[in-house]
Structure 1
């Protein structure tokens, strides 16, 4: 199944966000793959600083892995450049698919 969601980065942090993801931690990438998450892309709308993420998943979304220690560390690492909840998880809003062309 393919899912999409949006998040926000703080203004002026595009380069830093990209740099951190260019060097995503191997143990985090491994966890995502082990949990059935693949074909994961994140796009940025520079006019609004809104991130648009899309991923293929089995049962889990990357947003459902908050009990994993490495995910909690990643959230803390990213919290200074993103809009977050109190637990440092990114504020994330699911998006409904309204069209698909195969």
Structure 2
């Protein structure tokens, strides 16, 4: 498993945790919103590693957007939920096999 896939599992789990209505709000508000800065950094690192490994990175991009907008109550909840699901789905996908040879024969 690549480090980017491991980070997708971690950040996806964390986003799902933050999507739990009262618990997620308590974590965000109780941390004085610093948890959103931490998730922003984690999503940025995951994005860079995913791009480097040629893996899907749209969950990390949405995670960065979520970290910026999650202070808005209902919007934050739905963004955490969608981001968590996308990250978990992309982490669970099998990596694509890239072929280095040309199948076209002249």
Q: Which TM class, normalised by the smaller chain length?
A: 0.3 to 0.5
* Higher-Rg member (1/2): 2
Q: Which has the higher helix share?
A: 2
Q: TM-score, normalised by structure 1?
A: 0.34
Q: TM-score, normalised by structure 2?
A: 0.33
